[in-house]
Amino acid sequence: MITKAQKKSRIKVITGNAAAAIAAKLARPDVVAAYPITPQTEVIEQISQFHANGEMDCELITVEGENSAMNAVTAASLAGGRVFTATSSWGLVFMYDAILATAGARAPVVMVNVNRETPGIIAVSSGQQDMISTRDAGWIFLIAEDCQEVLDLVLQAYRLAEDYDIQVPVMVHYDGFYLSYLSEGVDVPLQEDVDRFLSVLKTQPERTKLVPGGRLGCGSHGILGGYLELRHKHVSAMERAKTKFEQIDKEYEGIFGRSYGGLLEEYRMDDADVVLVGSGSMCGTIKSVIDEKREAGVKVGLLKMRMYRPFPSEAMIKALKGKKAIGVVDRSLCFGFKGGPIYTELKSFETKLGGSKMISFIDGIANTDITKINVATMIDMTCDLAAGKTFVKSPGFHILRPRKREGVNMTQKKKDNLTKVMDYLKHEDPFSKGVAFCPGCGLELLLRFIPQVMGNDIVITGTPSCSAPVLLGQNNQSWHKLSYFGTLMTGAASNATGLARYYRKAGIKNTVVCFNGDGTAADIGFGNLSGAAERNEPFIYICYDNEGYMNTGIQKSGTTPFGATTTTTPFGSASKGKNLRRMNLALKMAMHKIPYAATATLSDLDDLAKKLLKAKEAKKRGFAFLHVFAPCTTGWGFAPENTIEVCRRAVKTNYFPLWEAENGKIRMTKTVKKPKPVSTYTELIKKFAHLSQEDLQILQDDVDYEYCMLGGLSLLEGECRLPASLED
């Protein structure tokens, strides 16, 4: 990067995620779609706080999944708006059909993708495989090296995507964990300078928009020659993007004093005999080692890729032609080829490189460090290649093997007839004594309780969530003695369906339990949950409801109640927390008229145990659903020792009534004759601490309304009246 005299700005020490969020705010988008996924979540959290504080004038859509996020911003973009969203890994994969449609519609969407390994082997860790899996979707791909470049590329992406001669969506990539959570000094430009930089777009012809009353078809079918014409125009626009991006980089330098060289950044390349080609955060380490090698007399340089799609072939050939040897460092795999993805693409131009020899290095996948030692080895091997040495295989592909465990130390629970609850615990606790839950976590109690009541022969399926660190594990390397299948949030119920159907076909006695949080059940996975219920699939679905995405950092879900603060519904000058009422997920499932549906909580374990056994019996007739209230001490803000008391007060205030439904017929399993005000429940919980008396009354009315609705559907005796404020 070349830095000239600094313009007016502010130096802030911020993370890469914060840099992306600030850049989005400076671009003044009209519509932002937000959905959490590690390690991107901080981006949409920061934007949510900007919105709550009145600093960001946009429509903020907190969607139920990434596919919806992309569809929402695409439509807003085609209507003429400036848009933004962010994702990572599985989220990018989940919106794959939508990103294809976005590119095909030539919608100038700008999105940040925080690089992380993709499904196959579940790995919440850094890697560029998600980027590689979508490289041919028709988007422009830009890659950042550090937090400063993250901010700069997002701003440059708007100039590129919305340019009248381009109109192609742009994805800005940066390494998850290494950059997303890294804090660095970032030169944050002033709003007036950003406005001036983007104002060029206003001088161009107005792009085609979908407007009410206008005559325009978007998303239409294209066949034969018409399809080919549209594809040709799309490809041509991407080719024009190369020159346009070079121009944008120079204009950016004129306003902000920073230039990165356009498509590629060359580091000590002029007299280099050998070159490493890399992208992203690894380049900082590579530059450091190159400096050391230079001091030792080795003529080595770096060619950093800033644009990956369209592939900057002409610029790369010009920069690399005549070099004795080229080592290409990939942070991803190219299945079916001997070499990494960037290596294989560059290899196709080998005949144009003037005899340069090439070698592939794969390193840094799944959060493994690309160390200075590894980089030095890569340089040494590239130099050996230049000198005529050949190799059997390339170095740098590291697989870190976990430390072996000696097994799980467990003891049989002694039967205790002093309480009703202990009578239900007829089976061994399958979990080890020390597990990775927060102190006071109700989820741990629930996880231990289920198999002790239902038996250890159950097969559990679950998704990345708070339970994942305990339930996940390859083969025998786990904290439990259960059969467990880690699935995707988007298809949890479908995975359980496949298991249950095969076991039934094979005549294998089974109890499949699909165990997920409210984010999966009420939001991103609700479609296949509803489908499984409609088909009456033979398994049990247990939703542990902690009213938000707690594992990714406390974001709102469909079951988050009115007024609750989360990182995507924060309290601010323009926001009092979530301004919508919660979804009644259990009632939705009961309305499918499945064999069994019920609510339960941890303060009434005898009730929970009975319902677990009823669900196991009902599974013989088809689908069973349990909605378990599971407070989160960390995400909600209450003392760990109050977990059971929070559950108890939720029941006593009718905030979470206990009921069951058999074939759609509802009955209360615990009737509270004199319910306490909902304020006696909220007073224990920090996420409600900001609510005024007026806000609490809205929450109270919502509780009363839902209880009356249940009363009308159940076998309760007596009249149930609506609160006065809801009678209209």
| Per-residue confidence band for 465, with pLDDT thresholds at 50, 70 and 90 | confident
The answer, yes or no, to whether residue 473 has pLDDT greater than 60, is no
What per-residue confidence (pLDDT) applies to 407?
Answer: 38
What per-residue confidence (pLDDT) applies to 415?
Answer: 39
**pLDDT higher for 136 or 429?**
136
What per-residue confidence (pLDDT) applies to 679?
Answer: 96
Can you give the pTM of this predicted structure?
0.82
| Per-residue confidence band for 711, with pLDDT thresholds at 50, 70 and 90 | confident
**Alpha carbon of 13 to those of 19, 146, 174, 452: distances in Å?**
9, 12, 18, 50
What per-residue confidence (pLDDT) applies to 712?
Answer: 80
**pLDDT higher for 424 or 453?**
453
Distance, CA of 665 to CA of 610 (rounded, Å): 18
| Per-residue confidence band for 389, with pLDDT thresholds at 50, 70 and 90 | confident
Mean pLDDT over 320-327 rounds to 95
What per-residue confidence (pLDDT) applies to 420?
Answer: 64
| Per-residue confidence band for 416, with pLDDT thresholds at 50, 70 and 90 | very low
- Residue located via tokens 């450091």: 288
**Alpha carbon of 492 to those of 153, 531, 619: distances in Å?**
36, 11, 17
Determine the Cα angle at 622 with ends 621 and 628, to 5°.
Answer: 115
| Per-residue confidence band for 600, with pLDDT thresholds at 50, 70 and 90 | very high
Distance, CA of 11 to CA of 461 (rounded, Å): 47
Return the axis-axis angle of helices 442-454 and 605-618, rounded to nearest 10°. 50
Q: Which of 658, 604, 653 is nearest to 627 (CA)?
A: 658
The beta strand positions in 314-369, using DSSP E, are 325-330, 357-362
**Alpha carbon of 49 to those of 39, 573, 575, 686: distances in Å?**
18, 10, 9, 18
| Per-residue confidence band for 436, with pLDDT thresholds at 50, 70 and 90 | low
Q: Is the peptide bond before 39 cis (omega within 30 degrees of 0)?
A: yes
**φ and ψ at 48, to 5 degrees?**
-60, -40
Distance, CA of 253 to CA of 260 (rounded, Å): 9
HSE-CB of 354 using CA atoms within 13 angstroms: 12
What per-residue confidence (pLDDT) applies to 172?
Answer: 98
The answer, yes or no, to whether residue 344 has pLDDT greater than 70, is yes
HSE-CB of 543 using CA atoms within 13 angstroms: 32
Mean pLDDT, the chain, as a whole number?
Answer: 88
Q: Which of 467, 465, 469, 488 is nearest to 478 (CA)?
A: 469
Q: Which amino acid is at 459?
A: V
Determine the Cα angle at 712 with ends 711 and 715, to 5°.
Answer: 65
| Per-residue confidence band for 427, with pLDDT thresholds at 50, 70 and 90 | confident
Distance, CA of 668 to CA of 711 (rounded, Å): 8
Query: Where is 170: in which H helix or E strand?
Result: strand 170-175
Q: Sheet of 83-87: strands edge to edge?
A: 59-62, 31-34, 83-87, 110-115, 170-175, 140-143, 307-309
Determine the Cα angle at 528 with ends 523 and 534, to 5°.
Answer: 120
The answer, yes or no, to whether residue 386 has pLDDT greater than 80, is yes
pLDDT in tens, 560-590: 999 999 999 999 988 889 988 999 999 999 9
Determine the Cα angle at 43 with ends 37 and 49, to 5°.
Answer: 115
Q: Do residues 585 and 545 make contact, with C-beta atoms less than 8 angstroms apart?
A: yes
Mean pLDDT over 61-70 rounds to 90
Say which range, 171-185, 252-266, 389-403, 477-491, has the weakest mean pLDDT.
389-403
Q: Do residues 286 and 278 make contact, with C-beta atoms less than 8 angstroms apart?
A: yes
What per-residue confidence (pLDDT) applies to 273?
Answer: 96
Percentage of residues in the chain having pLDDT higher than 70: 89
Q: Which amino acid is at 293?
A: K
**pLDDT higher for 394 or 180?**
180
The answer, yes or no, to whether residue 143 has pLDDT greater than 90, is yes
What per-residue confidence (pLDDT) applies to 382?
Answer: 94
What per-residue confidence (pLDDT) applies to 510?
Answer: 87
pLDDT in tens, 635-677: 999 999 999 999 999 999 999 999 999 988 899 999 898 999 9
Q: Which of 683, 618, 621 is nearest to 650 (CA)?
A: 683
Q: Report residue 254 as tokens.
A: 């004129």
Query: Where is 532: in which H helix or E strand?
Result: helix 526-535
pLDDT in tens, 161-208: 999 999 999 999 999 999 999 999 999 999 999 999 999 999 999 998
The answer, yes or no, to whether residue 398 has pLDDT greater than 70, is no
**pLDDT higher for 625 or 508?**
625
Q: What share of the chain is helix, strand, coil (3-state, %, to 5)?
A: 40, 20, 40
**Alpha carbon of 9 to those of 126, 137, 154, 190, 691: distances in Å?**
31, 36, 17, 5, 37
What per-residue confidence (pLDDT) applies to 222?
Answer: 72
The answer, yes or no, to whether residue 417 has pLDDT greater than 50, is no
Tell me the DSSP string of 280-303: TTHHHHHHHHHHHHHHTT--EEEE
| Per-residue confidence band for 392, with pLDDT thresholds at 50, 70 and 90 | low
Instruction: Give SS3 for 453.
Output: helix
Mean pLDDT over 527-532 rounds to 92
| Per-residue confidence band for 410, with pLDDT thresholds at 50, 70 and 90 | very low
**pLDDT higher for 67 or 444?**
67
Mean pLDDT over 122-141 rounds to 92
What per-residue confidence (pLDDT) applies to 719?
Answer: 44
Q: Is the peptide bond before 310 cis (omega within 30 degrees of 0)?
A: yes
Q: Report residue 378 as tokens.
A: 């890569």
What per-residue confidence (pLDDT) applies to 147?
Answer: 97
Say how many Å lie between the first and final Cα of the chain, rounded: 63
Say which range, 79-93, 480-494, 495-509, has the weakest mean pLDDT.
480-494
The answer, yes or no, to whether residue 725 has pLDDT greater than 60, is no
| Per-residue confidence band for 726, with pLDDT thresholds at 50, 70 and 90 | very low
| Per-residue confidence band for 404, with pLDDT thresholds at 50, 70 and 90 | very low
What per-residue confidence (pLDDT) applies to 498?
Answer: 86
What per-residue confidence (pLDDT) applies to 307?
Answer: 98
Mean pLDDT over 594-599 rounds to 96
